[in-house]
Amino acid sequence: MRVPRSPALWAPLALLLGGFMSAAALIGAPLLGRSAPVDGVIVIVIVAALWLAAAFAVPTRALPTMAILVYALIPYRVLPGAVLLLIWSVRRAAAARRVGPWPSRGGVAVLAIVSALLLVAVLSLVVSPYRGASAAWTVNCLLALGAVVVVGDCRSEAASLRRVWPAVGAVVGAYAVLEYVLRRNPVYGAVDQLIGGAAVQNWSGYRSTASLDHPVYLGMFLACSCALAVGAFARGSRWSLVAVVLTGGGLVTTLSRGAFLALGVAGVVGAILAAFAGRAVLRRFAAVLVVAAAITAVALPVLLERFGSSEAQGSVTQRTRTYDIVFSAWTQHPVLGTGGGTAADAVGDAILSLRYIENWYLQILLGLGAVGLLVVAALVAALLTTAVRRRDLPAAMLTAAFCVAIATYNADDRAATLFLLALVVVVVVGGGGAAVAPGRLATGRETPATPMRVPDANRSGGGDELLVLPRMLLWRRFVLLPRRRPLEPHLS
């Protein structure tokens, strides 16, 4: 059966169907008078079945887009997005022939470092004294990041993610604002009670959580969404300004200092790139700064109250103590660590007073050792370098926001962090989709002088152009033209 070439209709229709049926199950179960544990199991089975059916119904290239929607709209405990990435990699690997060309040199370097990280994760599991706890983390790592390595060419998926991710963030941000105004979580609060583990507001002020269970998780996601929306607006997408406003407003309601820091660093990276991109991009970026200043001015009293509270000051003190405890525990297993996801086990009884290791990189140092931390540092450097060398403003800002945000909380305690890292890799490796002259930044609306499409096996790739002119000309001369019409002999 031939599917439509664009996933723009298939993914939302499947998602809406699954969403409405999931909502019916979530709302209808309590009305039937069943006990919460039984309802939780029923709901998880129904929702998982619906989304897995949708995953095999939509085009392959739409699966990463579905994954970000699932992550943002459905609690991760109900349906992990890494499952969709696994299905994506399996369907792409089952294609009759490889889809599209290999990624650029920067993309290949990123995928090579991701492969090295997977190898380190497996080796760390082998020597781990906590294999039971580390096995689940390692499997999740292989599912999420391994899927990107298996696929390789993900340009079409990256283009779709760049369009959909800011829109999803805008929806979540608008819901977060509504939740903050109501001072309760009207939808996901009921869902959490149904499946267990409802969020408890134990902070100095109300903080929005939406579907992500905790303000820092929501803040990280909205910071990444806002960074991507700012980059898209700077490249000429006018509707992205709406996404900037909604994601920025939702970010404020989380009162997450780490998310503010992440977005600030992403803004600095974007400003540097915009400064070399011409007046048009710089003007649009300046307009975003005006919007950011207006949002900050409106929310300033709430932010000052939160940042000056005794609870916030205690959090700072707690994070300062983390370094001494972590480095003391790291010396016990310095090379390969104690296994991924076992940072809390590695510090022993100290975790009782510390509660959390609120830095993902420190958690990696304990879990994967010095080798793992070096590989992760190389991955962050490769992602940023690849995006900056391409003058890819959205990808560079997204990478900066994500890499800074996960350094401000215990991101390794949540399996979804690796899943989001995989999507960031997809966005960077997939590129921006348009050929840009060296030294210039794409506006997002211009079309290359010589457009082309790369043929593939299941129409799940394509949409990108070769950046080197000789290769582009050779491709059109000897590959595309013979498929459109036979070449006539030249008569001199």
DSSP line for 307-321: HTSHHHHHHHHHHHH
What is the spatial distance between Cα 91 and Cα 381, in angstroms, rounded to a whole number?
A: 30
The winner for highest mean pLDDT among 211-215, 232-236, 365-369 is 365-369
Instruction: Confirm whether 456 is domain-assigned.
Output: yes
In this predicted structure, the answer to whether residue 173 has a pLDDT above a threshold of 90 is yes
Residue 313 shares a structural domain with residue 182: yes
What is the spatial distance between Cα 7 and Cα 69, in angstroms, rounded to a whole number?
A: 14
> Which tokens hold the place of 123?
């080796």
Instruction: Confirm whether 440 is domain-assigned.
Output: no
Instruction: Confirm whether 436 is domain-assigned.
Output: no
- Taking alpha carbons only, the member of 239, 167, 254 closest to residue 208 is 254
Q: Where are the alpha helices (DSSP H) in 32-130?
A: 36-57, 63-73, 81-93, 105-127
Q: What is the pLDDT of residues 409-418, one digit of tens each?
A: 888 877 788 8
* Mean pLDDT across the chain: 75
* Domain-terminating residue out of 95, 125, 146: 95
What is the spatial distance between Cα 442 and Cα 296, in angstroms, rounded to a whole number?
A: 29
Residue 69 shares a structural domain with residue 189: no
Distance from CA of residue 430 to its chain's centroid? Answer: 14
Look at the chain and report how many structural domains it folds into: 3
**What end-to-end distance do the CA atoms of the chain give, in Å?**
47
Q: What is the pLDDT of residues 320-345, one digit of tens each?
A: 777 888 888 888 888 999 998 888 88
396 close to 387: Cβ distance less than 8 angstroms:
yes
Supply the range of the domain harboring residue 378: 96-430
Residue 323 shares a structural domain with residue 261: yes
Instruction: Confirm whether 439 is domain-assigned.
Output: no
> Is pTM beyond 0.85 here?
no
Residue 335 shares a structural domain with residue 467: no
Q: What is the pLDDT of residues 455-465, one digit of tens each?
A: 333 333 333 33
Residue 251 shares a structural domain with residue 372: yes
Residue 119 shares a structural domain with residue 241: yes
> Which tokens hold the place of 83?
């499952």
Q: Inter-axis angle of helices 155-182 and 240-254, to 10 degrees?
A: 50
Instruction: Confirm whether 442 is domain-assigned.
Output: no
Contacts by residues 388-391 (CB-CB < 8 Å, ≥ 24 positions apart): 388/269, 388/273, 389/106, 390/104, 390/106, 390/431, 390/432, 390/436, 391/273, 391/276, 391/277, 391/436, 391/439, 391/440, 391/441, 391/442
42-65: average pLDDT: 75
Residue 311 shares a structural domain with residue 460: no
> Which tokens hold the place of 128?
């781990």
The winner for highest mean pLDDT among 273-282, 365-374, 450-459 is 365-374
Distance from CA of residue 15 to its chain's centroid? Answer: 18
Q: What is the pLDDT of residues 94-112, one digit of tens each?
A: 765 554 556 677 788 899 9
Residue 231 shares a structural domain with residue 281: yes
Beta strands in 222-283, from DSSP E residues, in sequence order: none
State the maximum Cα–Cα separation within the chain, in Å, rounded to a whole number.
87
Residue 196 shares a structural domain with residue 271: yes
Q: What is the dihedral of CA 138, 144, 146, 149, to 10 degrees?
A: -150
Binning pLDDT at 50, 70 and 90, where does residue 228 land?
very high
| 62 DSSP assignment | G
Residue 396 shares a structural domain with residue 474: no
